[in-house]
Amino acid sequence: MKRRRHFILFVCGLCLLVTSSRAQHSDHLQAALMAMYEGDYEQASLHYKRALADNPNSPTALWGLARSYFYTGNYEQALQLCQQLMQNKRNEWKCRATLLEAFCYFQLPDRAMEQRIQKLQAAQACMPQDYRAHFYLGLLYVQTHRYAEAEAAFKEALKLRPRQTDIWIALGNLYARQEQWTEATECWCQAAEHDYAPAEIVYNCAKLSLRSGNYERGLQLMKHYAQHHPLQADDYFDIARACAAQNQYEKALLYIEAAISLSPERAVYYAFMADYHAARQQWDSALYANSQAILKQGDESAYFIQRAQLLLHAGKDKEAKDYLDFWIQQEPDNAQAHYAHALWLERNGGKKRAIKAAVKAAIQCGMHPQEISESLRKYAYRYYRQSSSTP
């Protein structure tokens, strides 16, 4: 009876010991998880090692320790633990180990490139639901100039994580390598519209959008960028042009003035300012801005041509004559120059033959009769029919 009682006490003690060991193991795992969540990977490693001391074959502890090694850059140690995990009977742990092993190889540039690619291909096949396997594989394909495969891998990653900024940027860079600028811009702009997008990407997308005619997107992104970063003169210039393209000339003038305040030596800014004033029929202001452009860069013929146009529109025909002659001399195939000459001749008592010749030159240079004033249109149609019937 006494022997039986001792045996029962021994079994109970053993059960208590096992229960206590399991509880201790669970406590270590819980503490390790908390440390991982807080980003304290060194502390997490200690807790996982203690958990393994209680249960050396615990796949949860092995997996956690391997991950903590990975996050602290101890890739070789992480690989050793992955090999242990791959011996586990459960396919779930084998796939996890395969995935982490591939990530370790990705971070080890001294390993053979083909070996790194094969590891990621294995991870991709084992866990196709993890976007990182596709993404990292795409990055390696880019390095080996396998662009079609890289594109497919990035697109597969985007199916799983459509708002992942890094993937959009990588795909955009891939298109840029192949000089597919439209596709590259679209990818970069997709990245720019996501939360926490890098400021450089937001800025580049804003500039590309403004310069490619996507003004609404460009203005929105530039406004977002300007909340935390100062704009340069050229940025204000791009915004001004976007506003002008939308017939918002008052806003365009404000932004071009901002550009000039930062770079007063740039003649082109004054030339655009002249155009914006002209659009509002503010001829004196337009002529003053044009004079500043000529003053800053007197060897640019475009500014003298602009002056001829402004003087004609302002009704200052006498001053316009010399500039008009210069314009035709510089651009003999410019239809607008010949048409302006015809208008000047008509307004200043020019000979009928000279007026007809100017209209004819405008038509021959590509102007349609509907673009010509009613008083000169009869000549225009005559020459237009002649030029159309000429084989």
pTM score = 0.67
Q: Residue 365 domain-assigned?
A: yes
Average pLDDT over residues 317-344: 87
CA dist 307 and 294 (Å) reads 9
Number of domains in the chain: 1
% of the chain with per-residue pLDDT over 70: 92
Average pLDDT over residues 374-383: 81
Identify the pLDDT of residue 11: 46
Q: Residue 82 domain-assigned?
A: no
pLDDT, one tens digit per residue, over 133-154 is 999 999 999 999 999 999 999 9
Summary mean pLDDT of the chain:
87
Q: What is the DSSP letter of 40?
A: -
* Torsion on CA atoms 349, 353, 355, 357, rounded to nearest 10: -160
CA dist 263 and 267 (Å) reads 9
pLDDT, one tens digit per residue, over 152-189 is 999 999 999 999 999 999 999 999 999 998 899 899 99
Q: Residue 341 domain-assigned?
A: yes
Q: Residue 300 domain-assigned?
A: no
Q: Which domain holds residue 378?
A: 316-385
% of the chain with per-residue pLDDT over 90: 48
Q: Residue 381 domain-assigned?
A: yes
CA dist 119 and 101 (Å) reads 7
Identify the pLDDT of residue 391: 47
Is the pLDDT at 346 greater than 50, yes or no?
yes
Written as one string, the DSSP assignment of 265-333 is T-HHHHHHHHHHHHHTT-HHHHHHHHHHHHHH-TT-HHHHHHHHHHHHHTT-HHHHHHHHHHHHHH-TT
Q: Residue 362 domain-assigned?
A: yes
CA dist 67 and 104 (Å) reads 10
Average pLDDT over residues 2-25: 51
Span of 31-40, 63-72, 225-234, 305-314 with lowest mean pLDDT: 31-40
Cα Rg of the chain, angstroms: 37
Q: Residue 280 domain-assigned?
A: no
Identity of the amino acid at 147: Y
CA dist 235 and 266 (Å) reads 13
Q: Residue 373 domain-assigned?
A: yes
CA dist 228 and 202 (Å) reads 12
Greater confidence (329 vs 148) lies with: 148
Is the pLDDT at 117 greater than 70, yes or no?
yes
